[in-house]
């Protein structure tokens, strides 16, 4: 009799326990995804160009300022490019749009577009989750400057490709 009553309680409580367990599992999935995204951003070198002062300070920039874009121009035969603010870039995009962009983007040097093409959908989703989690911050980076025009300081001057005869 006692046992029967107990199992009735278990049956009644079981449906209540499931959502809590599911929420906890979702939470730990989400935090694993964020950790993976942070890890990929760090080892992928994204901060080196997209975070002001990051490479110069040996990575000593607080996480809240990561990926806010840079005013340091990259000047070469293609013109002068500026690493955009990825915190703003991600806000306007869905995860699916980001994955599509990353698979096909042909960006100017020195952006390693091939690194984006190589990332799996899962890793791209992790990067997306991490940058969205950081939230919008900072301003738009300067616009691209066409080849042949002198950019304002500061900029890095990139050498042209080696001359054919020396290859």
Indicate the DSSP class of residue 51. Answer: S
Strand pairing category for 79-81 and 73-76: antiparallel
107 counts as binding ligand HEC under rule CB under 6 A? yes
- For ligand HEC, the closer of residues 7 and 91 by Cβ is 91
129 counts as binding ligand HEC under rule CB under 6 A? no
Interface with ligand HEC (CB under 6 A), residue total 20
Binder to ligand HEC among 36, 93, 108, 132 (CB under 6 A)?
108
49 counts as binding ligand HEC under rule CB under 6 A? yes
Burial readout 19-48 (b: 16 or more C-beta within 10 A, e: otherwise): eeeeeeeeeeeeeebbebbbebbeeeebbe
- For ligand HEC, the closer of residues 45 and 53 by Cβ is 45
CB of 9 to ligand HEC, least distance (A): 52
From the list 4-12, 31-39, 77-85, 152-160, the region that binds ligand HEC by CB under 6 A is: 77-85
∠ at Cα 126 (110, 94), nearest 5°? Answer: 85
50 counts as binding ligand HEC under rule CB under 6 A? yes
- The tokens describing 130, both together, are 């991490």
- For ligand HEC, the closer of residues 74 and 155 by Cβ is 74
Cα–Cα distance between 100 and 80 in angstroms, integer?
26
Cα–Cα distance between 32 and 30 in angstroms, integer?
5
Binding mask 6-25 for ligand HEC (x = CB under 6 A): --------------------
């Amino acid at each position: 009799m006692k046992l029967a009553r107990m199992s009735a309680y278990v049956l009644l409580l079981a449906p209540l326990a499931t959502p809590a367990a599911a929420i906890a599992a979702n939470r730990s999935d989400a935090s694993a995804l964020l950790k993976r995204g942070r890890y990929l951003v760090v080892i992928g070198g994204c901060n080196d160009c997209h975070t002001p002062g990051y490479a110069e300070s040996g990575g000593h920039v607080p996480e809240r300022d990561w990926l806010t874009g840079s005013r340091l121009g990259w000047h070469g035969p293609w013109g002068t490019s500026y690493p955009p603010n990825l915190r703003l870039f991600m806000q306007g995009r869905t995860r699916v749009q980001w994955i599509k962009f990353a698979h096909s983007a042909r960006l100017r040097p020195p952006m390693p577009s091939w690194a984006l093409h190589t990332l799996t959908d899962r890793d791209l989703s992790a990067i997306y989750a991490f940058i969205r989690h950081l939230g919008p911050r900072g301003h738009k980076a300067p616009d691209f400057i066409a080849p042949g025009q002198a950019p304002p300081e500061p900029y890095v001057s990139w050498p042209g490709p080696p001359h054919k005869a020396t290859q």
